[in-house]
Structure 1
Amino acid sequence: MTTVLVVPGAWLTKAFYEPFLQALTEAGYDAQFAEYPSLDPEDPTAFDCHADSKAIAAVLRPLVEEEGKDVLVLMHSYAGMPGAAAATGLAKTQRVQQGKRGGVVGLLFVGAFVVPEGLSCAGLQGGNLPPWILLDQDQSVLTRDKPSANLNLADDPINNFAADVEGTLAQSLTAHSKPHATLSFTSPQPHPAWMDDEFKGRLASVVLTEDRAVPKEAQLGMIAATQQPWIVKELPASHCAPFLNRIDDTVALTREILDKML
């Protein structure tokens, strides 16, 4: 049984992804989830992209090194940065040559950032985060109380992330959103596994063609800039629709991609 480790986008809690995790389980996969210390932290200055990567690796490494599992790392949005770093050195192809069980069979980016080593998410966008990321905000943005420094929230998440999702269902975005440490977006990308030869032929992207947060052109541009071979599938969906009203499609694409990797 292949394990699918789901690594979330910024601002979103595990509860948001629970229906997708359940669908993966019903499809016969071992669904696992990694969380970030940069999500709603007490001290937002303490957690950057590297800290998030270490937290993901703390989930991923035991799956591979202790349990000998074959793992697909599925990354949504911001997860493409720390998730790719966490997989470094754990490629299935490499571990087979070393006579070891288990390994990361592939990296799957869903509307996700693909960022070169040393560059931040903000740096990839000319040094500034997009205006729909509200800086120095905590949950008080909803009550208009005093904002909190070094935290951020997404403005109008339903319109930016789920404009194609029915209203009641889309409300889960706001229900399961928390502030995120801005340092995650302004700190450099640790070495990403997609740069390594061991992952050639094991990189895949589900490009979300109706994405307002990370437009289709940006997704394709990041992929092309790696100069690596990719398995690319397109899904006519907004940024969060793959985990809301397009869950069955996302599971089907995950299976299709895994079949090409295994």
Structure 2
Amino acid sequence: MPRHARPTAVLVHGAFADASSFARVIPELTAAGMAVVAPAVPNRGLVDDAAYIASVVRAVDGPVILVGHSYGGAVITLAGVEDNVRALVYLAGYALEEGESLGRLQGGFPDSGLADALVRTPFPVPGSAEPGTDVSVAADRFPELFAADVEPALAAVLAVSQRPLAARAFSEPAPVAAWRTKPSWGLVASADRTINPDVERFGYRRAGMTTVEVDSSHLVMLSRPRAVAELILEAAQATGH
């Protein structure tokens, strides 16, 4: 694969959101000449979700800058080992170590306020008599916790259109940590009330990432799209694309 090939940004959303959370970043990237793919993450489990995103990455003809927001950071930690991934970019995300789960990483820090706003709902699992458990954020708490600096009308829509995360994703250990072999960048949302910003800082520091801090809520892609796009473009440029 030629080093000069234009990269594609694969944008991986997190829990309680969908690919539309990148709606303000995508135009910034395409205007700068980057191709973009923003898939829908199943949010059914860390290993399964990463396998799906890895298949999306493999389908891209050329180098990939793999971007993960929030839980999507955990997903790219696994999927980022694909050969055509040139860089990882974490946005208010979980940078797991090999063998570490979301619950274990997060459990080492004070709660952000999200824990007491979570709603658990059973869902049917094909072929199993036992239901799974979906986790979402109480709609009336979503704007303050997730999107405090996003327009209230938009935050209200996001609150009732969440893509839940299966509870088992919180306890699955990461079988691999792609940041060990791929250059990585991390954005800390310093006003984050969904993930304790210190969780983000710790993971990024441990991985030796190039890190920036932005005064933003958890949904930094909607509140500060230019800063997000600039970090992705920096990663692309630094890796020779």
TM range (shorter): 0.7 to 0.9
Query: Residue 60 of structure 1 aligns with which residue?
Result: 57
RMSD, matched Cα: 2.4
Q: Which amino acid aligns with 1:70?
A: P
Q: 1:74 aligns with which of 63, 67, 70?
A: 67
Q: In structure 2, the residue corresponding to 1:152 is in which secondary structure?
A: strand
CA distance in 2 between partners of 1:174 and 1:221 (Å): 28
TM-score, normalising length from structure 1? 0.77
The Cα offsets for residues 215-249 of structure 1, whole Å up to 9 and x where unpaired, read as: 222211122233xx321111111110x22131122
Q: 2:164 aligns with which of 179, 188, 204?
A: 179
Q: CA deviation at 1:111?
A: 0.4
Q: 2:173 aligns with which of 179, 188, 198?
A: 188
CA distance in 2 between partners of 1:175 and 1:27 (Å): 33
Greater relative CO, 1 or 2 (CA 8 Å, sep 6+) = 2
Q: Which amino acid aligns with 2:209?
A: W
Q: CA deviation at 1:252?
A: 2.2
Q: Which amino acid aligns with 1:218?
A: V
Distance change in 2, residues 1:16/1:204 (3 Å): closer
CA distance in 2 between partners of 1:221 and 1:127 (Å): 10
Number of corresponding residues: 223
Q: 1:6 aligns with which of 8, 11, 14?
A: 11
Q: CA deviation at 1:135?
A: 4.4
CA distance in 2 between partners of 1:168 and 1:157 (Å): 12
CA distance in 1 between partners of 2:188 and 2:239 (Å): 18
CA distance in 2 between partners of 1:15 and 1:176 (Å): 11
Q: CA deviation at 1:19?
A: 3.3
Judge which range, 17-26 or 149-158, deviates more.
Answer: 17-26
- 5+ residue gaps, structure 1, are 39-46, 91-102, 140-147
Q: Which amino acid aligns with 1:153?
A: S
Percent identity of paired positions between Structure 1 and Structure 2: 25
Q: 1:160 aligns with which of 125, 145, 162?
A: 145
Q: Which amino acid aligns with 2:15?
A: A
CA distance in 2 between partners of 1:133 and 1:122 (Å): 16
Distance change in 2, residues 1:89/1:214 (3 Å): same
The Cα offsets for residues 132-181 of structure 1, whole Å up to 9 and x where unpaired, read as: 45242279xxxxxxxx8511102312111111222123234224313221
* 1:151 pairs with 2:134: yes
Contact 2:73 2:90 in 1 (8 A): yes
Q: CA deviation at 1:195?
A: 2.0
- 5+ residue gaps, structure 2, are 1-5, 124-130
Q: 1:259 aligns with which of 232, 237, 241?
A: 237
* 1:113 pairs with 2:89: no
CA distance in 1 between partners of 2:59 and 2:196 (Å): 35
> Is the helix fraction higher in 1 or 2?
1
The Cα offsets for residues 1-57 of structure 1, whole Å up to 9 and x where unpaired, read as: 22100000112122333333233223321010232223xxxxxxxx42110010001
The Cα offsets for residues 62-87 of structure 1, whole Å up to 9 and x where unpaired, read as: 21xxx2x1110011000111212112
CA distance in 1 between partners of 2:75 and 2:228 (Å): 21
* 1:27 pairs with 2:32: yes
CA distance in 2 between partners of 1:27 and 1:48 (Å): 34
Q: In structure 1, the residue corresponding to 2:54 is in which secondary structure?
A: helix
Query: Residue 143 of structure 1 aligns with which residue?
Result: none
Contact 1:8 1:79 in 2 (8 A): yes
